[in-house]
Chains A and B, each alone.
Chain A
Amino acid sequence: MKTWLPPLILLALLVALPHAGPLFHAWLPDLSHPLYWRTSFTELALSHALLVATATVVAVVVGLSLGILATRPAGRSLLPTVRAVAVIGQTFPPVAVLAIAVPLLGFGAAPTLLALSLYGVLPVLGQTVAGLDQVPVSALHAADGMGYGRWRRLWEVELPLAAGPIMAGVRLSAIVSVGTATIGSAVGAATLGAPIVEGLVGNNTAYVVQGALLVGALALTVDGLLGFVENRIRRPPA
């Protein structure tokens, strides 16, 4: 899919949906409110995107740092643990993370942010370790022999060579966050999940469809943009 298509669809939906009341009324004539009205879709989408962006930044910072630490000589002993946690963590449903976060932080954006960040760390961490592990040993040996310092080697050799897998992890983390943030509205965060949750509770299919369309378009947009970045970072161009 072209990179520009999903953002265009998202934009079109944000513009068109508020005027689509008659359309939904025609489809579901029994509903008294065929269009979600409590908050504007644009406001929800922005808040949703902000939440995802913040969580992804936290996930990248934490995941990348842990991944780098675990692949340094001093941190090597942590590697099996880190790997195991990353794999086990992936099997945890995001809802469970949210359920654990609410008693700790109360309702609102905070528990959602915590859940998203925690859950988002794992793909980044896993891919960072995998990416750094597949850097050719001969290149590292040569870098050492030529007098690259430890950090310089990391920055100029290891990270560029691991950039592809790491970006794939970041992408996965962000997309999972877009979906998971939807559930966040169940605990009071303003996200595109609000119409979905309210629609499910009030048996209003129109709300659910409106929310789902926007979340889907947002997920594709995020995936497209990060995919674009990933392709730019990979060098030589594959």
Chain B
Amino acid sequence: MIEFDHVHKAFGNHVVIEDLSLRVEDGEFFVLVGPSGSGKSTLLRTVNRLTHIDRGQVRVHGKDVATQPIEALRRGIGYAIQSVGLFPHRTVAENIAAVPHLLRWPQKQIDERVAELMALLKLDEPGMADRYPDTLSGGQAQRVGVARALAARPKIVLMDEPFGALDPLTRESLQASVKAIQKETGTTILFVTHDMDEAFRLGDRVALMLDGRLAQVGTPLELIRSPADERVNEFVGGTRAYLRELAVRCVRDSMRRDESADGDAIAPGATLQEALGLMLEKRRDRLAVAGGGAILLADIVARPR
């Protein structure tokens, strides 16, 4: 659990975070989204004290971070950044092992954990463990970066635009990996991005940050359907926001179980966006759903139940 309690931060006269309070629950995938300069990265860095706050309190698991030994605090929190920051003089395996190594895990345990993470993040092509970072593609490097952040099984992981520099395909694949791992392990993730689609795809809850304040906090659907004000509406995308909504909702929740359709079936866990895409591709207005039932164009358009 991460709690921000009336946090205030200014660089000189420029206020970056203004009297901000927020609570991120255990096991939650929480996304801070906002334009550049909105203070979201700064807010993230107050958690592991890379940024010192002027007023207020940040608590991790109920304890004020300012009172904790800084190195122990940071070793207990995973951290992944856009520039990745792999150590060029260390191999992939050594990079992933960085925090367990700092925590003096036994070597055997470190080796096992590294192998596990490399499989989990699809880094298991032969010879990968002994390669140096300068031989990796951007996507591979960021996979190593994420593996390194998760290595010591932290309860909390901070991610600062980790996929910002990747091409769309690589980004989607990494988003899926991280989301799956997060669900599996119940890790609390605080994730910063300026990409609304990424925020809605990943976040259990999303906070839109504007000018150092939280404009709105809620689930992706809440932000899309009932934006708090005009600025939120504008940022979420106005009528285009409803297209984003399709990416958040899944077939299972809108389908009809008592209907059927011909042709290839779509998975019940697929998003409505994928269903609509498939309908457009096939030029049909109904699709079979794997395991029985069907989804109709009308179900996609209809106000959700």
Contact = CB atoms under 8 A, between A and B. Distances in A.
A49 interface: no
B219 interface: no
Contact of B102 (A137, A139, A146, A236): A146
A140 B89 CA distance: 13
Contacts of B79: 142, 145-146
A7 interface: no
B86 A145 contact: no
B48 interface: yes
Interface in A134-173: 136-149, 152, 157, 160-161
B71 interface: yes
A139 B158 CA distance: 16
A36 B181 CA distance: 78
Interface in B29-62: 48, 50
Interface SS of chain A: helix
Contacts of B76: 147
Contact of A147 (B72, B85, B87, B145): B72
Given A236-B132, A236-B134, A147 B89 contact: no
Nearest to A135: B88
Interface string B19-31: 0000000000000
B45 to A, nearest CB: 8
Given A145-B50, A147-B73, A136 B99 contact: no
A236 B145 CA distance: 19
Contacts of A140: 85
A232 interface: no
Given A144-B50, A145-B48, A146-B98, A139 B85 contact: yes
Nearest to A156: B87
Interface residues of B, number: 26
Contact of A139 (B48, B50, B70, B88): B88
A72 interface: no
B49 to A, nearest CB: 10
A142 B86 contact: yes
Given A142-B79, A236-B132, A236-B134, A148 B85 contact: no
Given A138-B83, A142-B79, A147 B88 contact: no
A154 B99 CA distance: 16
Given A145-B50, A148-B102, A136 B132 contact: no
What are the 6 closest A-B residue pairs judged by CB atoms, nearest first? A142-B85, A147-B74, A138-B83, A147-B75, A138-B85, A145-B79
Interface of B: 48, 50, 70-76, 79, 81, 83-89, 98-99, 102, 132, 134, 145, 148, 158
Interface of A: 136-149, 152, 157, 160-161, 235-236
Given A139-B86, A147-B76, A160-B89, 10 more contacts: A136-B85, A136-B88, A143-B85, A146-B75, A146-B99, A147-B72, A147-B102, A148-B102, A157-B87, A161-B88
